[in-house]
Structure 1
Amino acid sequence: MAVMHMNDDLRLILERIRQYFTRRYQTRYWLQVVNDQYDKTYNFFINIQPKGQRVRSIPLHTIEQYDLSYLEKIINEIQKNIHLSFMYDGFTGQKWPTTQELIQKRKHYDE
């Protein structure tokens, strides 16, 4: 499969976030980015949790360009457009190329 350009990846992710981010009353929304080290991809999900209910996790897009600099640019552009929290999985010990900040601040139980 051909590697998408940043604008294509970004456009798809933003379109899909807007589709599901409906700002319902007493509902939590956050984005999850998963580093799939085996397939060398980054997977984006939106998590939706109405108060008192289970979390619903909806796949948004898979980025096949396995490069942290590329991912960092995508994340920065998403944050400029949509103000949701991010949760990162599979990035333990890795740092963003430009800021050298840890990507994943806490270790998750499944790693």
Structure 2
Amino acid sequence: MNKDLRIILERIKQNFTRKRDTEYYLQVVNDYYDQTYNFFINIRPRGKRLHSIPLHTVEDYRLSYLEKIIDKIMEQYKFSITYDGFVGQKWPEKQELIQKRRHKDE
């Protein structure tokens, strides 16, 4: 986990510039075809288009591993996180639903 977490945190730091009137949030996508988790940072300046920047692909396809990575990221950054492809799945430790309903583009 250290390698994946280190890469994600480093890339968040590069892209999180804390500009005024700009919304930042993370997106985690469950790619069940390749059995990977993809991380993106989404940046939306007010009145402009959304920019989605890929951060990293986690190849360890276990929800418990992903849960630990998310917890470590949230300790350092208090971003909102959008989940795609996790409908009906629960976190192994917290036993909370990850994604309640599908998004329009899923």
TM-score (norm 2): 0.97
Unpaired runs of 5+ residues, structure 1, are 1-5
Q: Which residue of 1 aligns with 2:75?
A: 80
Q: Which residue of 2 aligns with 1:36?
A: 31
Moved over 2 A (4+): none
Q: Which residue of 2 aligns with 1:65?
A: 60
Seq. identity, %: 68
Unpaired runs of 5+ residues, structure 2, are none
TM-score (norm 1): 0.93
Please report the RMSD computed on the Cα atoms of aligned residues, expressed in angstroms: 0.7
C-alpha distance in 1, partners of 2:33/2:5?
Answer: 23
C-alpha distance in 2, partners of 1:58/1:81?
Answer: 19
Q: Which residue of 2 aligns with 1:3?
A: none
SS in 1 for 2:89: coil
Counterpart among 17, 20, 24 of residue 19 in structure 2: 24
Establish whether residue 98 from structure 1 lines up as the match of residue 93 from structure 2: yes
Question: Structure 1 residue 109: deviation in Å?
Answer: 1.2
C-alpha distance in 1, partners of 2:75/2:105?
Answer: 30
The Cα offsets for residues 27-57 of structure 1, whole Å up to 9 and x where unpaired, read as 0000000000000000000000000011000
Establish whether residue 53 from structure 1 lines up as the match of residue 48 from structure 2: yes
Name the count of aligned residue pairs.
106
